[in-house]
Amino acid sequence: MEITIFMKKENFYYFYISDKASRFIKLNNNMGKILLLIFLSIIFSLQISYAQQDSIVKAKTLPEDQEAEKLYNSGINNFSNKSYNEALSDFDKAIAMKPTFDKAYYNRGVTKQEMKDYKGAIDDFNKTIELNPQAEDAYFNRAQVKYVMGDKQAAEADYSKTIEVKNTYAQAYYYRGGIKFENGDYKGAIDDYTQAVKNKSDYAYAYNDRGSAKRQLEDYDGAISDYNKALIINSDMAFAYNNLASAKRKKNDFKGAISDYTEAIKIKKDYYIAYNNRGSAKFDAGDYEGAVADFTDAIKYNPDYSFAYNNRAAAEFKLKKYKESVGDCDMAIKLNSQYGYAYLNRGIAKEMLRDNEGACKDWEKAASLGVNGASKYINDCK
């Protein structure tokens, strides 16, 4: 029923009532006022009801997909800030709301990877791939985790799958090349490093590692070229200077090698390997005093570096410092009891000190450890 005030005239109110049978009614002043108050009360109640209905609509929560996305973005932000536990919680909640959220599974896997929960990470990457078989990053990161866990064969398979899904994935070529390098497949490694730089022209690490693979195949010119390319891209790569110098040593360019080792040391002052290698280049060039100084610096930065002790012993022998040479061989053997060449060198130094018995024992030990050339010294003991 609808009631409308039609008019007020003199002491009467006229109302229009609309129901099954529309009609006018006439009420005196008092009754009209009462009906008017009732009418206004009904209108006011209806207005309140409509206002409440509007506010309820506004207070509705976001749809689940939107809420899941919000949690996902929060997880990404927390991960960027290295708040891994918070990121993990966000991804958990996002997945609970949206069980088919493949990106949330992937990023939760990456978070677990950072937290060294490798099994959990693999489970999440597996789920990502189940939901999205074209998720190349999931294959790649699963390969990374498998490699860390020591399963290189499975890692190589996943790098290959990454490349199958996306054949321009430079990092997948690079890391697969690294496994081939470790397995002694230098040609295969070179092929992968070549694909890496083809798809990422500024990939300095790939140029460096391709140079190292070429060096293993005795392609020293090719190695030098690749090391130089790596350094053009990134001149702060101390290890690339070290590698470049080592390739030059193979070509008997000792001056060039010493210069490059020096560049490596400028970048990394405590680079004990570069000090040791520069000392070896100086030794090859006949600068035994300079060699001793470099081996001494190598030992200063790494007192447990047995190679530097043995190398310094060799340089001291050239300088006819036989006692010092024996002492350094003693240290090398103390640090590494299976160091065959240290036994060989100590034997040679002992011979110069007229300790023939000690020399023969050291040469026999060197021979038992597979040192080539030790047997010729043993012949003198008979």
SS3 99: coil
How high is the pLDDT of residue 63? 65
Confidence of residue 56 (pLDDT cuts 50, 70, 90): very low
What are 300-331's pLDDT values in tens digits?
A: 999 999 999 999 999 999 999 999 999 999 99
Q: Are residues 229 and 220 in contact, defined by beta-carbon separation less than 8 angstroms?
A: no
What are 177-230's pLDDT values in tens digits?
A: 999 999 999 999 999 999 999 999 999 999 999 999 999 999 999 999 999 999
SS3 8: strand
Confidence of residue 65 (pLDDT cuts 50, 70, 90): confident
DSSP characters for 298-359? HHHH-TT-HHHHHHHHHHHHHTT-HHHHHHHHHHHHHH-TT-HHHHHHHHHHHHHTT-HHHH
How high is the pLDDT of residue 33? 52
Answer whether 0.75 is exceeded by the pTM.
yes
Residues contacting residue 248 through CB under 8 Å, at least 6 positions apart: 220, 224, 254, 256, 257, 260
Does pLDDT of 53 surpass 50? no
Helices 152-165 and 136-148, packing angle to 10 deg: 170
- Tell me the domains of the chain and their CATH numbers: 2-58 (no CATH), 62-167 (1.25.40.10), 304-382 (1.25.40.10)
Give CA torsion, residues 112, 114, 119, 125, to 10 deg.
70
Least confident of 40-44, 135-139, 370-374: 40-44
Total residues found in the chain within this entry: 382
